[in-house]
Amino acid sequence: MPDAPSLDNPCLVDGPDAAPATLLLAHGAGAPMDSPFLQTIATGLAERGWQVLRFEFPYMAQARRLGQRRAPDRQPVLLQSWRDQVARAADHGPLFIGGKSMGGRMASLVLDELAAANPVLACLCFGYPFHPPGKPDALRIEHLQTLRHPCLVLQGERDTFGRRAEVEAYALSPAVQVQWIADGDHSFKPTKRSGFSESGNLQQAIAAADQFMTSCCRDRSGG
């Protein structure tokens, strides 16, 4: 298990250095990189042989230093953070980028740009915010309609940021795959009456991410 993040350790790394690829993983708007959700995803993928590097956007790192909640940075700052993280990790070999909610959305916005000039293979979004809750017309999908590089969206069927019936009506790029987490909310948690479990849904997401990354690496090598 990695050490807790600190001023001297601004990232968390799980998994072997000799992994076939590294996943750069960003947090959502309100929870840090060591949230239980991201901890489970990172350790689960590390156990399957991937290296996972978690980082925090400037506002969240500052909130950690000050011990006070802060509003997310504006989008240009978030996107530049992604560019900087990929530049730092370029020597790691093949890279995947992605994250929880806002973190995954920001990664998807720079996917084609970063894949063109860096060893970035694809993007993974764990709970994509297709629209704000209660505002289904305020869509955040324009770039998802034209993406050229692979992107996997793992989405809870009950996610108020984009339920299954809504998302399946969107005209997304063929490069975007959506896999559904049974009865899951924005963090994949199901209702008690559904018969599904939160841990089972998280394991489903980990397995799907593992399969997606394996396929992308195989395609890259021509195997």
- Rounded-to-integer distance, Cα 98 and Cα 75, Å: 16
**Tell me, what's the pLDDT at 9?**
47
Of the candidates 92, 221, 81, 97, which has an alpha carbon nearest to the alpha carbon of residue 149? Answer: 97
| 71 within a domain of the structure (yes/no) | yes
From residue 121, alpha-carbon distances to 30, 53, 86, 93, 113 in Å are 27, 15, 12, 10, 11
| 136 within a domain of the structure (yes/no) | no
- Rounded-to-integer distance, Cα 146 and Cα 21, Å: 25
| 64 within a domain of the structure (yes/no) | yes
* Count of domains forming the chain: 1
**Are the C-beta atoms of 29 and 72 separated by less than 8 Å?**
yes
- Rounded-to-integer distance, Cα 51 and Cα 18, Å: 8
| 182 within a domain of the structure (yes/no) | no
Could you report the per-residue pLDDT of 158-214, keeping only the tens digit for each?
999 999 999 999 999 999 999 999 999 999 999 999 999 999 999 999 999 999 999
The CATH number assigned to the domain holding 40 equals 3.40.50.1820
Tell the residue number behind the tokens 């000799």, with chain if given.
18
pTM of the model: 0.94
| 205 within a domain of the structure (yes/no) | yes
Residues of the domain holding 108? 12-129+196-221
Could you report the per-residue pLDDT of 65-108, keeping only the tens digit for each?
999 999 999 999 999 999 999 999 998 889 999 999 999 999 99
**Are the C-beta atoms of 178 and 172 separated by less than 8 Å?**
yes
| 17 within a domain of the structure (yes/no) | yes
| 82 within a domain of the structure (yes/no) | yes
**Tell me, what's the pLDDT at 212?**
98
In the predicted model, what is the mean pLDDT of residues 128-149? 98
Other beta carbons within 10 angstroms of residue 114's beta carbon come to 23
